[in-house]
Amino acid sequence: MVVSWLTDGPVPRPTVRYAPADTATTTDTATTADTATTTTDTDTGSGSGSASGAGVAADGDVAEPGEARATTRTYRDASRRKIHVQHATLMGLRPGVRYRYEITPPLGGSEPSTGEFRTAPRPSASASAQQEAQEALEASWAAFTFTAFGDHGTDREDDPYGSPASGAVVAAVDLLDPLFNFALGDLTYASLRHEPSRVWADWFRMVSPSARRRPWMPVAGNHESERGLGKFGLDSYQTYFELPGNDAGRDFHGLWYTFTVGRVRFVVLLGEDACYQAHGLVYLRGFSGGRQTAWLERTLRAARADTTIDWVIVAVHQVAMSTAAYHNGGDLGLREEWLPLFDRYQVDLVVCGHEHHYERTHPVRGAVPGSPLLTPRPVVPTSAAAPTGSAVSTTAPTVPKAARTATPATTVTPGTTVTPATASGLAVAAEQVDTTTGTVHVTIGTGGSSTPSTGALLDPPIGQVVVPPELVRGRRRTIHADEGAPWLAARSADHPYAFAAFHVDPGVPGGTTTIRLTVHDSLAPTDPPFDEVLLTRPRRDAPAPAPEPAPEPGERTV
């Protein structure tokens, strides 16, 4: 766990003191100064006790209450102003425990600089005592919720890229008390502003009421790259967030990373590396020289070889599928580079932003045969008689714009009710998806942007695909192509400001584990969710089928 905060300049001995909430010696209050945020959580996915923000104590290494000295990181923004960010890594934490912390020196103002967080459920690596083993086992089974949205901005009146909803969603996610929140990229739109560091400070001040109480796990979007800030324009992002490493070297630190909560392995990617889209900012396609894709394959392979991991969830800003006209589109680069890996290693869920509306796909696996755009192939029952998991046969993967007749696959498992997705309505379904059959993609770039794409949804649905850009007078120009959208399961034109909640139930050994996705309007968060689906998969520790009894001597087998 890392606690991060901004200071106006260097401060003497920046420190975080922390203790379990039930024995906390820090100031007992629920309010704190504006810029204290917890930003990273749990471990690096490679086991407990790793160097980068491990949230799990090594056996016998219970050091609480504790104290962590922060390190100070700096960068100079576009106006050459030096920005100071403090990061304190809290070690020796136990899983499944609520902690409180206090920052010193205090951040100023009348409020004490305190916060709190819960550590993730996770079994101890090598519990030596039976009691510890039992506690760890129970913690590993604990259910938890995480929330997600992208494309945020701030709620300041002078912010042309945010809206009042940018502030509303911060309080809205807290109503569900998530273990952590994914900030799915395009956090601040500082790249478009004259005073980017002030915009960052505004954003941290706005999210602090939530982010000092639970980790906000960031994903870098295209607007995290600011011109002139380092090799990739990402100096500010890499200074504000202290994130797990990825073995790709200092230049790439924290840009993609993995962490584990209970039996879920999360994999965070920087989509710009794979995407063709030219958005007029810093063009980063291929910038890692293949390092990120190689790391992704290693990470996914390790996750699927680990029998303590059931779910593999990817968070990336850009999308592979979209039915919004005149916005961003689904990027062919993602389809070429990473979707085959998602297939090979059975990624369950991909959570994205970038498009400013809500959209959900059927589970997809592979590409529609003959599709020039690698249109993801939906895996749903083709008829009431078809078994779950059979593939939809799509004969017209690419639909001319003039012929807009494509409709999404809407046939479902017998006994369930689904309303076909339309531009004006949304399926609210008692729908179940076995994600061992395919990967579900969820787009939720509805954090507060002043330019929702809910009004741009093509009806009937047509997929918009970003293909390699054209060079016009030495500048890249983004090109789109059309396709059918057989992968579309649900979308909404009615809720431009929304967030997704994922309720993880780890189940019991040998059983089924589930994730219930509920999607909520940020401006009416206590209303019933406007979309809901239950994702299922068998636990990896399901007992193997009993072996066939060995034939008796002399018995013949056929």
Task: Give the interface with Fe ion as residue ranges (CB under 5 A).
Answer: 186, 221-222, 354
41 or 186: whose CB is closer to Fe ion? 186
Closest contact distance (angstroms) between CB of 545 and Fe ion is: 46
Closest contact distance (angstroms) between CB of 429 and Fe ion is: 28
Within a 13 Å sphere around the CA of 438, how many CA atoms are in the beta-carbon half? 23
Closest contact distance (angstroms) between CB of 270 and Fe ion is: 12
SS3 content of the chain, % helix, strand, coil (to 5): 15, 30, 55
Closest contact distance (angstroms) between CB of 449 and Fe ion is: 9
> What is the distance between the terminal CA atoms of the chain, rounded to a whole angstrom?
58
Closest contact distance (angstroms) between CB of 376 and Fe ion is: 20
Closest contact distance (angstroms) between CB of 354 and Fe ion is: 4
- The residue with its CB nearest to Fe ion is 354
Closest contact distance (angstroms) between CB of 311 and Fe ion is: 25
At 489, which helix (H) or strand (E)? strand 488-492
Closest contact distance (angstroms) between CB of 287 and Fe ion is: 16
At 432, which helix (H) or strand (E)? strand 431-434
User: Which tokens sit at 458?
Assistant: 């093509």
Separation CA 155–CA 165 (nearest Å) = 7
16 or 316: whose CB is closer to Fe ion? 316
161 or 342: whose CB is closer to Fe ion? 161
HEC states along 440-472? Answer: EEEEECCCCCCCCCHHHECCCCCEEEEEEEEEE
Separation CA 460–CA 404 (nearest Å) = 6
Residue 72: count other Cβ atoms within 10 Å of its Cβ.
Answer: 13
Distance of CA 462 to the CA centre of its chain: 26
354 or 362: whose CB is closer to Fe ion? 354
Separation CA 98–CA 436 (nearest Å) = 33
Closest contact distance (angstroms) between CB of 303 and Fe ion is: 26
**DSSP secondary structure string for all residues of 223-278:** GG--TTSSSSS-HHHHHH------SS-GGGTTTSEEEEETTEEEEE--GGGT----
Rg over CA atoms, the chain: 24
Separation CA 83–CA 65 (nearest Å) = 30
Closest contact distance (angstroms) between CB of 247 and Fe ion is: 27
With H, G, I as helix, E, B as strand and everything else as coil, classify residue 137.
Answer: helix
Separation CA 299–CA 279 (nearest Å) = 29
At 336, which helix (H) or strand (E)? helix 332-337
Check: CB of residue 51 under 8 Å from CB of residue 39. no
Task: Give whole-number Cα distances, 258 to 11, 384, 439, 504, 549, in Å.
Answer: 31, 39, 18, 18, 43
Orientation of helix 196-211 relative to helix 164-174, angle to 10°: 30
Candidates 183, 144, 353, 133; CA nearest to 264 is: 144
Closest contact distance (angstroms) between CB of 234 and Fe ion is: 14
How far is it between the farthest Cα atoms of the chain?
88
Closest contact distance (angstroms) between CB of 221 and Fe ion is: 4
Separation CA 93–CA 20 (nearest Å) = 9
Closest contact distance (angstroms) between CB of 498 and Fe ion is: 16
User: Which tokens sit at 147?
Assistant: 């929330």
User: Which tokens sit at 530?
Assistant: 């406007």
Check: CB of residue 419 under 8 Å from CB of residue 428. yes
5 or 240: whose CB is closer to Fe ion? 240
Closest contact distance (angstroms) between CB of 272 and Fe ion is: 9
Separation CA 474–CA 211 (nearest Å) = 43
48 or 225: whose CB is closer to Fe ion? 225
